[in-house]
Amino acid sequence: MIDKNAFLQFADYETAVVQTPEWSQLPTVTVRNLNGLEQEQWHAVSKKLKADGVEVGVRLQCLACVFGIIDETGQNLFSVDDADALARKHPKVIDRIAERIYSLTAMTSHERAEIEKKANTSQMNGSGST
C-alpha cells in the first residue's frame, strides 16, 4: 500500500556536480533538477521580464541557478533575491551550471528557445503600442 505522506516527503530530484575551475575557492557546485513549482516560477519570471522589455538570457540562467544550486544538505544555496548578484558572475560558469540544471530538469534547449522566441515576439508587438 502506498503511503501518501511517505510519497510526498520522498526527495525525487536528481543531482550532479558541476566543475567550476574559474571559481578557485569553489571548484565544484552541486545542482539538482527544478521541481514543478520552480519551473512554473521560471516561466512566469520569463514572461514578466519579456513583458517589461528586459533581456532574459542571463537572468533566466541565474534564476535556474537560484533554484538548482544546493548545499551539502540538499537545501537551496541562493534565494531569488540573489539572482542579480549571480548575473554579475562569469557568464561562462553560469551558462555551464544552468545547462546542467536544464539537463537534469529535462528542459531542452528547444523548449527554452521557444519561450524566448515567444517573449521576444510579445516584446516586439508590445513595444509599438502606446
**Residue 67 sits in a domain of what CATH number?**
3.30.2220.20
Question: What residue numbers bound the domain in which 86 lies?
Answer: 14-116
Average pLDDT, the chain: 85
Q: What domain count does the chain have?
A: 1
Q: d(Cα 115, Cα 13) in Å, to the nearest integer?
A: 24
Q: Is residue 122 part of a domain?
A: no
Position 130 confidence tier, pLDDT thresholds 50, 70, 90: very low
Q: Is residue 3 part of a domain?
A: no
Q: Is residue 93 part of a domain?
A: yes
Q: Is residue 67 part of a domain?
A: yes
Q: Is residue 37 part of a domain?
A: yes
Q: Is residue 108 part of a domain?
A: yes
Q: Of 69, 64, 63, nearest to 16 (Cα)?
A: 69
Q: Is residue 51 part of a domain?
A: yes
* pLDDT of amino acid 61: 94
pTM over 0.85: no
Cα 68 from chain centroid? Answer: 6
Position 122 confidence tier, pLDDT thresholds 50, 70, 90: low
Q: Is residue 109 part of a domain?
A: yes
Q: What is the pLDDT of residues 4-52, one digit of tens each?
A: 888 787 777 899 999 999 988 989 999 999 999 999 998 898 888 888 8
